[in-house]
Amino acid sequence: MRVVVTGGAGFIGANLARALLARPEVSEVRVVDNFVTGRKANLEGVDVTLLEGTILDRDLLDTALTGADAVVHLAALPSVPRSIADPLASHHANATGTLEVLEAARRAGGPYVVAASSSSVYGANRELPKRETMRTAPMSPYAVSKLASESYLAAYHHCYGLGVLPLRFFNVFGPLQPAGHAYAAVVPAFLDAALAGRPLTVHGDGGQSRDFTYVGTVTQVITEAVVRRVVHPDPVNLAFGTRTSLLELITELGSVLGADLAAEHVDPRPGDVRDSQADNARLRELFPEVVPVPLREGLERTAAWFRTL
């Protein structure tokens, strides 16, 4: 089968391209990426067909989707703080971008579409664990754009019969996730600081918690979804119900690196949710065979990759 990965030069996309190509069912992976946050180097030595440009370019999408069996739509401007700095840019890339991908899928005769949503859609709803049936309460333009994306997927399923799967990612981490920029995620930011001997910057008291998911587990679920064409118009949490505070994460990282890590506390970030933990009953029902990589092992693999940089 031929699979299009939008955002395939990004952190999750480049890991996914490798996972897809390892499956005998997949004959070609086509990546659409404009390298706004992704990097060509992430795909070095990976046998993909690269289409450079934006998902807002209809002609490019039509070329990419010709004869495609599935689309994994990951292209987006990620990060809550980035969306607060520039809400319209996030809206164009994430919400309008998803609509353009769905329209292109419709024009292409309806390939299967899996897309990345985010746990940030739960936002101000503090109930734990997060069940997909809970009220969504976005707290940032990024979260709004992700809620729009998953809603568009459901609408295209109901109106046009498109086979879709909106997945709500929680905090994904692993190799190829960059540090050293203003919008870096917490695991690479901590690892980068720790390996350089700098204190780890913690926003707030560090008691905020997240459901961390190793990228290899995420790509395993998406690959299974594509190969088995798992359709579910309502969103599905892609995380495994663990809850780790940032202070616990620092302790675990210290143990992985064999170092005592110092933290420096700064102001909490606006738009950040306090706690996040997935209910994964729906995921388990759809993907009973997937066994997640435990946090410790994932951190070890990620640290090993960071050491090669």
Ligand X SMILES: NC(=O)c1ccc[n+]([C@@H]2O[C@H](COP(=O)([O-])OP(=O)(O)OC[C@H]3O[C@@H](n4cnc5c(N)ncnc54)[C@H](O)[C@@H]3O)[C@@H](O)[C@H]2O)c1
- Residue 18 tokens read as 């490798």
Which residue type is seen at 284? R
Report, in Å, the least distance between residue 267 CB and ligand X.
22
Give the nearer residue to ligand X in terms of CB position, either 13 or 288. Answer: 13
**What is the bridge-based pairing of β-strands 28-33 and 2-6?**
parallel
> How buried is residue 182: exposed, middle or buried, by Cβ count under 10 Å (0-12/13-18/19+)?
exposed
The structure tokens 């990004």 sit at 10
Report, in Å, the least distance between residue 159 CB and ligand X.
23
Report, in Å, the least distance between residue 127 CB and ligand X.
19
Q: For the chain, how far is it from start to end, CA to CA, in angstroms?
A: 34
Report, in Å, the least distance between residue 76 CB and ligand X.
3
3-state secondary structure (DSSP) of residue 138: coil
- Residue 298 tokens read as 């994932």
The helix (H) or strand (E) run that includes residue 201 is strand 200-203
Give residues with Cβ within 8 angstroms of 23, minimum separation 6.
Answer: 223, 227
Report, in Å, the least distance between residue 235 CB and ligand X.
12
Interatomic CA distance for residues 290 and 16, integer angstroms: 15
Residues that bind ligand X (CB under 6 A): 6-7, 9-13, 32-38, 54-56, 74-78, 93, 97, 116, 118, 169, 171-172, 185
Give the nearer residue to ligand X in terms of CB position, either 181 or 265. Answer: 181
Give the nearer residue to ligand X in terms of CB position, either 143 or 261. Answer: 143
Give the nearer residue to ligand X in terms of CB position, either 41 or 262. Answer: 41
Report, in Å, the least distance between residue 74 CB and ligand X.
4
Q: What is the number of other CB atoms lying within 10 angstroms of the CB of residue 275?
A: 17
Give the nearer residue to ligand X in terms of CB position, either 97 or 235. Answer: 97
201 and 247 in contact (C-beta within 8 Å)?
no
Give the nearer residue to ligand X in terms of CB position, either 99 or 185. Answer: 185
